[in-house]
Amino acid sequence: MSTLIYGATVVAGDTIMEPGAVLLRGGRIEALLDRWEQPGEAFPGEAIDARGCVVMPGLINGHTHGVTPGALFPSAAHSLSRDRWMGHLDRHLLAGTTTVLSLCGLGAMADVREADRHHAVHVRGATTHLPLALQAAQASDGHGLTRAARELSVERMLEDGAVAIGELGGGQTLGGGGQDLIYIPEAIAKRTGIRVSSSQARRLKEAVLGRFIQTGALDERRLSDLAGETGLAGALPLGELAALIADTVLPSMEPALGAIRDGVRTALKLGVPAIVHSASATANVMRELMDETPSKGAQLIAAHANHPSHTPQEAYELAMRGKDKGWAAEACVFDLLHRRHTVQTREHWDRLLSEPDLVSVLATDYGKDGEHDELISAVQDVFNQGHRSLAGAVAMATTEVARLIPGIAPDCSKLRAGGAADIVVASAADFRDVKFVFVDGQCVVRNGELTEEAHR
C-alpha cells in the first residue's frame, strides 16, 4: 500500500520543495518528488491532496513530562493514571509530535516501554537515578517512587535504553513553578484550610525566600501584605507562615543542586547528553558548571533557557555563557503563545531566539496540568517572527534535537528517501491545524482526528 502526499510545501532538511510530494511505501519514505503525475484511479493506494499545507518530519520533543506511567517529575510524584498519560500522548500526536523524551527521570525503563508499546508516539526515557536526586525527590514528594526505581542507577538505566540524563533539577525540587502550583498551596491548605492560588503561592514564596530562593531574604512587609490579601493573616502568625513556606521549599534544594553537579559530571564521564533545569534557582550552579566543565564529548543542554524566573537579561547572559562553554540551549514554549496559564510574557522567548544560533532546540515542558502550547505552534512562531527560516525552525524540533540527543530518533528526524516515514501534514496558515500524521508509514491522525492505529 502506497500513500502519495502531493501539492504541499515540503520541508526536507535544508531544502524546501514548493510544491513537492512525498511517496510512502512499506512504512518508509520511497521518494521525495518535485514532479509527480496527478494520481488517477489506477494509483495503488491513497493520494492526499495537501495543497495549502506544509509537510515536515514528525516533531521530536526533547522535554516532556507526564507521558509514561511511573514517578512523575523530578519530585517523583505519584504516577498519573493511564488515561492521563495516554491523553498527554494523544495531545502530542494530534499536534504533530511523533517522538517524545520523558524527562521525569525517576521512573524505570519498563514504564517508558509500556507507554511506547501502547501509543503510536515513540516514547524515549531519561534517567536521574542519582543518590542526591532521590533525596531531593523524597524531601519534596517521592510518593511515586517504586522500590525497583529506588535501586536503579544512571548506568543501569542507560544500559536499559535511557538516552539522556535528565531532567536534573526541576521546579518541584528547586522552589519553582512546581512548588507554586502544588506543594505550597497543599501545605498551606493542610495547616489553615485556606487554598491559595499558584500566583499567590509564588508571591508568598518570594516574600519569604526571594527570587533566588535563599534564606535571609525574608521581606516581612511584603509577607504581611500578602497574608492580608490571601486571608492567611488571621489563620496563623507571620513567623509560622514564613517557616511553613521555608520548610516546604528548602529541604529539597541542597540535594537537588548537588544532583545537578553529580549528573553533569556523570554525563561528561560517560559521554551522554544531560538536560539541566535552567531557572533563577539554578543559575549559580549552572555558571559554576559551565566554567568548570566545558562540554567535551557530552551534550549539555540548558533546559528552558527562557525560564521566566530569570529576567530576560539574566536568561540571555546565562545562555550566552553556556554557548561560550559548548552548552546548548533549549527554549520551551510552555504556554506562552496561546494558553498563558503559567507564562504570560514572551519577552524571554523573543530575546533568546532573536540572537542567531543561541537556542538550538524547542520543546514544551509540561505547562499547567499538561496544557502546554503545541510544539508545532512554537515552530511556526519562530518562523513567523523571522527568528529562523522555515527549514531552520523545523530543524529546531527535529534534526537538531536528534543531533543533541543521538539516541532519541536516530532514523526519523529528516524527510529523506529510504528514511522512516514519520510525517506531519499541517495547514500552512496555522500549523496547529494538523491534518494528517504518519508514524512508521501508518496514518495515526486523519483529518485532525486520531485513527485506531494511534493506540495499540
Binding stretches for Zn ion (CB under 5 A): 170, 277
Nearer to Zn ion, 79 or 172 (CB): 172
Q: Alpha carbon of 123 to those of 60, 111, 181, 211, 324: distances in Å?
A: 10, 10, 26, 35, 32
Q: Give the nearest residue (CB) to Zn ion.
A: 277
Minimal distance, residue 365 CB to Zn ion, in Å: 6
Q: Decide whether 92 or 277 has the Cβ nearer to Zn ion.
A: 277
- Complex with Zn ion: residue 129 or 277, whichever CB lies closer: 277
Q: Which amino acid is at 388?
A: R
Distance in angstroms (rounded) separating the CA atoms of residues 58 and 79: 27
CB nearer Zn ion, residue 114 or residue 365: 365
Torsion angle (degrees, nearest 10) of CA 312, 383, 428, 97: -60
Q: Which is nearer to Zn ion, 124 or 277 (CB)?
A: 277
CB of 72 to Zn ion, least distance (A): 13
In contact, 371 and 88? CB cutoff 8 Å: no
What is the grid cell recorded at 169?
A: 533539577
Nearer Cβ to Zn ion (39/175) = 175
Q: What is the smallest separation between the CB atom of 188 and Zn ion, expressed in angstroms? A: 23
- The three cell numbers of residue 14 are 535544508
Contacts of 422 (CB under 8 A, 6+ apart): 57, 58, 98, 99, 122, 409, 412, 438, 439, 440
Taking the complex as a whole, the smallest distance from the CB of residue 289 to Zn ion amounts, in Å, to: 16
Output the smallest distance, CB 306 to Zn ion, in A.
Answer: 11
> Which residue, 7 or 105, has its beta carbon nearer to Zn ion?
105
What distances in angstroms separate CA 129 from CA 161, 164, 176, one per listed residue? Answer: 14, 11, 21
Q: In the bound complex, what is the minimum distance in angstroms from residue 205's beta carbon to Zn ion?
A: 17
- Minimum distance between the CB of residue 143 and Zn ion, rounded to whole angstroms? 20
* Cβ at position 353, least distance to Zn ion in Å: 18
Under a CB-based contact definition with an 8 Å cutoff, are residues 241 and 267 in contact?
A: no
Kindly tell me which of 334 and 438 has the beta carbon lying closer to Zn ion: 334
DSSP 265: H
Return the C-alpha cell found at 372: 502546554
Neighbours of 401 (CB within 10 A): 26
DSSP β-ladder status, 328-332 and 361-363: parallel
